[in-house]
Structure 1
Amino acid sequence: MGVVNVNKQNSKYRWVVFASVLFAYFIIVSQRTAPGLISDQLMKDFNMTASMIGLLTSIQFLAYAGLQIPIGILSDRFGPNYFLIFGTLLNGVGTFIYSIAPNEYILLVARLLVGMGDAAIWVNLVLILSIWFKVNEFVGLLGLAGMTGSFGFLLATVPFSKWISDFGWRPPFLTTGVILCFIGILLYFILVKIPQRHAENELKAKVKAVKRRENTVVLLRRIFSNRQAWATFCCHFGAVGTYVGFIGSWAVPYGMHVFGMSRSGASQLIMVGLIGAIIGAPAGSWISGRLHSIKRPYIAFHVMICLSWTAFLLFSGKPPYFLLNILFFLIGFGNGASALTFAVVRQSFPMKEVGVVSGFANTGGFISAVLLPSIFGKVLDHYHAAPSSVGYHYGFIIPVIFTLVGFMGGLLIKEQRQEMRQTELGTN
């Protein structure tokens, strides 16, 4: 695959690939949190319980987390293009079904389809960038991809909310589902049909690769015993799960119950975190490039995130308002900088393993995102008779512990010399 990759990495067409893949990612990410805007309407329209609303959210992220490693293995073996296309189409179909669902059971199936489709996106995005771009371009482009994801989350706040307010909840989801299906078709032409002039060379490379395929059990055993793979898992566990888990579940109730904010006022805390993530993704990549190191800045970012969560503990769950906004910004910044996890993967593993290790690392982040809201909720239930700040005070111990896991992951990273890896990976 070396010759094919070099040709792709020197072509101007790679920027068309980059733009189209990022646009798909932008729309797909918006649909991770957009259903949260209509929870009250779903409860009213379908007479649903809060538990059912929670199940709608959790089934999507559980499907996402559970499929990361299988998707990584399959993408490494058969290439990322069709998996990215299929994931986008599955997202579109799931979102479309969601928009016309007659009952809560169809809603549940729709969110399961969306979670399954979403599971195929990031890992294959990383693989496609690995194939089309050189190692020295890769870190910066990952930062832009991370920023694009944050803009996707931003789309699912005020703009999508306004759309729902003006037209009801069904038309926006129906339109988004149709758009995603069209994007999937467009990706087929951009990723498969147009580059067909390389097909013969790629086919020969794949035929050779088949002979070198490793037994899946042996591959997984080696990955699960690899220090660098666990370092990336822990880094993502600490940086991503604490942000996504808290922002997506308890941030708004925290602002309302502890600070007496309105719902819209508390939502601004999420906006502050999103702005931090938008800045953190390219800034983290830029700092890493300037220092010619991934490990040093990444450790610093994990320290920053851990200290930010610790500040909530030191102020008994209620820091001064000006500091509150700074803390949300810093936590969001650290989440944006978590794109460095996949820069470590790209730098440390041969191309034939980048997909499965990326999936393994990404699993860490979303396991954390599933665990944190649940454990945090149990702490709040335990202190339900006490003032609100007491429950949140003790609840903040959880993200502190989780971010310590991320910090340990940063320490475990074994940095590779960039020049040596470029030479080595270019031969794979």
Structure 2
Amino acid sequence: MEKQNSKYRWAVFATVLFTYFLIVSQRTAPGLITDQLMKDFGLTASTIGLLTSIQFLAYASLQIPIGLLSDRYGPNFFLIFGTILNGIGTVLYSVAPNEFFLLFSRLLVGLGDATIWVNLVLILSLWFKGNEFVGLIGIAGMAGSFGFLLATVPFSLWISLWGWRGPFLSIGVILLVLGSLLYFILVKKPKQLFSSQEQKGTLSREEQVKERTFSLLLRILSSRQAWATFLCHFGVVGTYVGFIGSWAVPYGMNVYDMTRSNASQLIMIGLIGAIIGAPITSWIAGRLGSIKKPYTVIHLVSFLGWTAILLFGGKPPFYMLIILFFIIGYCNGANTLTFAVVRQSFDRKEVGLASGFANTGGFLSAVLLPSIFGKILDHFHAAPIHVGYFFAFMIPVIFSILGLAGGLLIKEQHQEAKGMG
């Protein structure tokens, strides 16, 4: 396919990657201004919690529908629309006069964010060959980790200098501009360069519509490979994102008597691991010519990491804790191999739905783990604090066992299988 041999595909890659980087930064950036929001708007802790949950619930609930729609009608429109929706939501957030606007704006951000990763996977699968895709999906994962990193010290310093509204407004405007740029990069310019290929793609999509949605969904839900990727993502993403995003800082403060600032550095250690985990593990997979082998090892290491914390009664030596946070972060970074498996295992007309199904697994566990973890801590509230954490750490251990099962279930296939070349 001419697209996959053109130099133009790198312009596509760079633009889509930068868009993903900025959008990921806005998933957690509002956490930097929790105290200011409570002060400025008189919000309760439960309302703050709702601001976070409404965004991620919108994200998780739309993964399968977005996958279906993107397979049917192509990924370009949904990536562009999602970027613009994210930009509008971020702008509204920056000018919100009351809590209703805050909630509505975060809902828009969640809806926009829901379209991004699935369509990024689809776009890369269309523009790059299978052997390139494995490495590039790792770089995409690294870009996401840098996005999370942006939403820590750099964004915090920007807020300190400008106040919180200015930075969010700026990012929102940049995303709106990126939406226009994506239209030029993904739609307008390719029509000039690859008109015949675009027409073939249109005919292909018309043929895809002939298959009923129910039968397509049923085929994915009955696929061993789809459930393997679901479990992989469930085991490695939810354990990291769910814990880091909710209990990591309280854990450091309560169990190790750390300050809030020092405890937050545990998150930075995990992020550093995630940043290098994506490209290195993808490179290893490419060198080995196997995704299953390194990914199964990653899930085994993740399981052993959580188990080590558990075996030390929820309080390993501090030097070991730092190493374990780095390792667990590294394993999360390697989760992009989930989508390398999807890319090589499913036809183009199924990649969006299969990606959405796998991504649902990750964010389902990210929603479940903080809640179950918290309920266990509440149950043992009268006991010494480390006792509650000991039993709570059984949850990421159990979740990571499911991830390991997913890795073992993966059926290795050749890079160019299923017409994905």
Both structures adopt the same fold (TM-score exceeding 0.5): yes
Query: Which residue among 189, 195, 215 is the counterpart of 1:194?
Result: 189
Aligned mate of 1:63, from 51, 58, 64: 58
| TM superposition shift of 1:193 | 1.1
> Residue 150 of structure 1 corresponds to which residue in structure 2?
145
Q: Which residue of 1 aligns with 2:350?
A: 353
C-alpha separation between the residues in 2 aligned to 1:341 and 1:328? 21
Matches within 5 A, 1:181-220: 181-197=176-192, 198-213=194-209, 214-220=211-217
Q: 1 CA distance for matches of 2:410 and 2:51?
A: 36
Q: Secondary structure at the match of 1:418?
A: coil
- SS of the equivalent of 2:420 reads helix
Comparing 41-50 with 294-303, greater Cα deviation is found at 41-50
Asked if 1:367 corresponds to 2:364, the answer is: yes
Deviation at 1:171, TM superposition (A): 0.9
In structure 2, C-alpha distance between the alignment counterparts of 1:108 and 1:73, rounded to whole Å: 27
Q: CA deviation at 1:224?
A: 0.6
User: For residues 204 and 189 of structure 1, what CA distance do their matches in structure 2 show?
Assistant: 20
Residue 263 (structure 1) aligns with:
260
Which residue of structure 1 aligns with residue 16 of structure 2? 21
Counterpart of 2:14 in structure 1: which amino acid? A
Q: Deviations over 1:87-114 (max 9, x none)?
A: 1111110011111111111111111100
Match of residue 340 from structure 1: 337
- Residue 188 to residue 209, structure 1, CA distance change in 2 (3 Å): closer
Root mean square deviation of aligned Cα? 1.1
Match of 2:131 among 128, 136, 150: 136
SS in 2 for 1:15: helix
Gaps of 5+ in 1: 1-5
- 2:68 and 2:196 mapped to 1: Cα distance? 23
Residue 212 of structure 1 and its aligned partner are, at CA, apart by 4.0
Q: Residue 280 of structure 2 is aligned with which of 273, 278, 283?
A: 283
- Deviations for 1:331-383, whole angstroms, at most 9, x for unmatched residues? 00000000000000001001110011000000000000011111111111111
Q: How does 1:21-420 map to 2 (within 5 A)?
A: 21-197=16-192, 198-213=194-209, 214-418=211-415
- Name the CA distance, whole Å, in 2 between partners of 1:64 and 1:325: 31
Local SS of the residue matching 1:293? coil
Partners of 1:290 and 1:211 lie apart in 2 by 36
Question: Letter of the aligned partner of 2:311 in structure 1?
Answer: L
Q: For 1:181-203, what per-residue CA distance to the aligned partner results, in whole angstroms no more than 9, with x for missing partners?
A: 11111111111111112245423
Amino acid across the alignment from 1:35: P
Tell me, in whole angstroms, the C-alpha distance in 2 between the residues paired with 1:127 and 1:212: 15
**Aligned partner of residue 400 in structure 1, secondary structure:** helix
Q: Which amino acid aligns with 1:114?
A: V
User: For the Cα contact (< 8 Å) 2:381–2:388, is it kept in 1?
Assistant: yes
- Structure 2 counterpart of 1:3: none
Contact 2:191 2:198 in 1 (8 A): no
**Deviation at residue 385 of structure 1 after TM alignment:** 2.0
Instruction: Give 1:311 shift.
Output: 1.0
Quote the Cα distance in structure 1 between the aligned partners of 2:201 and 2:31: 45
Aligned residues, how many?
A: 419
SS at match of 1:339: helix
Amino acid in structure 2 at the alignment position of 1:110: S
CA distance in 2, matches of 1:203, 1:194: 14
Contact 2:73–2:205 (Cα < 8 Å) also in 1: no
Q: Distance in 2 between matches of 1:263 and 1:230?
A: 39
Equivalent AA in structure 2 for residue 277 of structure 1: A
- One-letter amino acid matched to 1:161: S
**Which blocks of at least 5 consecutive residues in structure 2 are unaligned?**
none
Q: Structure 2: which amino acid aligns with 1:407?
A: L
SS of the residue 2:413 aligns to:
coil
Taking the aligned partners of 1:150 and 1:92, their CA distance within structure 2 comes to: 20
Sequence identity percentage = 72
Amino acid at match of 1:129: L
- Alpha-carbon contact 2:129-2:420 (below 8 Å) kept: no
Distance in 2 (CA, whole Å) between partners of 1:26 and 1:34 is: 13
Distance 1:142 1:212 in 2: 25
Q: TM-score normalised to the size of structure 2?
A: 0.98
Amino acid at match of 1:49: T
Distance in structure 2 (CA, Å) of the matches to 1:182 and 1:387: 53
